Every structure is written in structure tokens, then in C-alpha cells.
Amino acid sequence: MLFTPQEIFRLTDTEFFLDKASISKKIRRQLEQFHQTYRRELTTQALIVPDQYGPDSFQLVKGEHLESFPYQYLDYPRYYTREVKFAFRTLFWWGHHIIFALILEGGHIRRYKENLVNRFSDIAERGVCLCLDHSLWEWKQGPGYTLELTKERKPEVAAVLANRPFFKLALFVPFDDPTITSGDLDHTAQHALRAMLPVISQ
């Protein structure tokens, strides 16, 4: 078993690991800030929620192996059972992008679908995509993975939703986006949540 020169370089690169630890702390603080932003936003909203939903439930998670890349995420609001899912996930996926995603399955899924179609003009043209994969846990973007919600795609979106017991909406932000370098990511998070709220609002 031989290590390549690049692998040996990685093993001895202490700066990378120190930077990774520092960046991870910043991501954690950013997710905590998003949590407070979302809480303020949702206190003024009448939502269609699962029967056992608790408005204070949230989760912060950190891992190393999302398709071999580290990740950190916040789920808020958050409700998961085997049959019902109702969550807004903010995911930092190293090497890829930041994802703001509304995850819905079971429960009031019919009303959520109706809201998406009936309020389509309120949601379209705001950077939100419908995720096409048959798993809620696919986080890639692009052809075959996502369909951007533009005004002319309403019939196509309705057709995709028709027989699905779940769906996921997502807004993707690349790591070189100006909102990240300018420190304005909190406004992007607020925009993403507001863009998807018509789906789950009464």
C-alpha cells in the first residue's frame, strides 16, 4: 500500500485541518444565526403543520461523509416520522454549495401540492427549484436533478407532483456567491424561506 505524493502532502498539511476547524465553527455560528432569523419569520405565519408538530423543535448536525464530503446543517422547522416529514433544511455541503430546502412528505402533502400549484406565481422566478430525484436526500443541482420554477413551467411542475407522496423545493447558493463574501447570507436565507412559505401557509 503506497501513498501518492499528493496524499502525503495532504497528511502533512496542518494548515488545512486548522482552517477546516475554523471554518466549521463559523458555519455553526451562521446556522445558529439562521435559526434565530427563521424563528422571527415564522412567529408571524399561520402554517399547515403535522398534528404532533412542535414549533420549538430544531436540529444542528455535523458530519463527514455526504458522498465523501463534510457537511453541516440546520433543520428548522423540523418534524420527522417514518410517514411524515415537514422540515426546512439549511445545508452547507463542502465542495458543492449551500442548500435551503423545504422537505415535505405525507400528512398534509395534498394541500402543499395544491398550494404550490395555486400560488405558483408567488413562488416562481425566485430562484427556487423542484428536486426531481425519487429520494428526499439527494442534494445535487442541475439537469436531471432539479427543475427551476419559472412561470412557464407550471404545467410541468404539476405533472411531476401528481403522483408523488413527497416533494422537495430547494434554493442553491454556490460558495463563490457575492452574498457569502459580503457577509449578507442571512438575507439570502430569509429570502429562501419567504419564497417557499406560500407552500406551507394556510
Residue 13 and residue 94: Cα distance in Å, rounded? 18
- The neighbouring-strand residues paired with 169 are 102, 130
**Of 3.40.50.300, 3.40.50.1980, 3.30.460.10, 3.30.930.20, which CATH number belongs to 5-200?**
3.30.930.20
For 118, phi then psi, to 5°, come to: -70, -25
Per-residue pLDDT of the chain in tens (202 residues, 90 and over written 9): 899 999 999 999 999 999 999 999 999 999 999 999 999 999 989 999 999 999 999 999 999 999 999 999 999 999 999 999 999 999 999 999 999 999 999 999 999 999 999 999 999 999 999 999 999 999 999 999 999 999 999 999 999 999 899 999 999 999 999 999 898 899 999 999 999 999 999 9
Q: Whole-prediction pTM value?
A: 0.95
Residue 123, burial from CB neighbour count under 10 angstroms (0-12, 13-18, 19+):
buried
- Reduce the DSSP state of residue 36 to 3 states and report it: helix
Locus of grid cell 412561470: 151
49 in the Ramachandran plot: left (φ > 0), alpha (ψ -120 to 50) or beta? beta
Residue 121 and residue 61: Cα distance in Å, rounded? 34
Q: Which pLDDT value is given to residue 200?
A: 98
For 50, phi then psi, to 5°, come to: -60, 155
Instruction: Provide the residue ranges of all domains of the chain, joining segments of one domain with +.
Output: 5-200
Q: Name the DSSP class of 153.
A: G
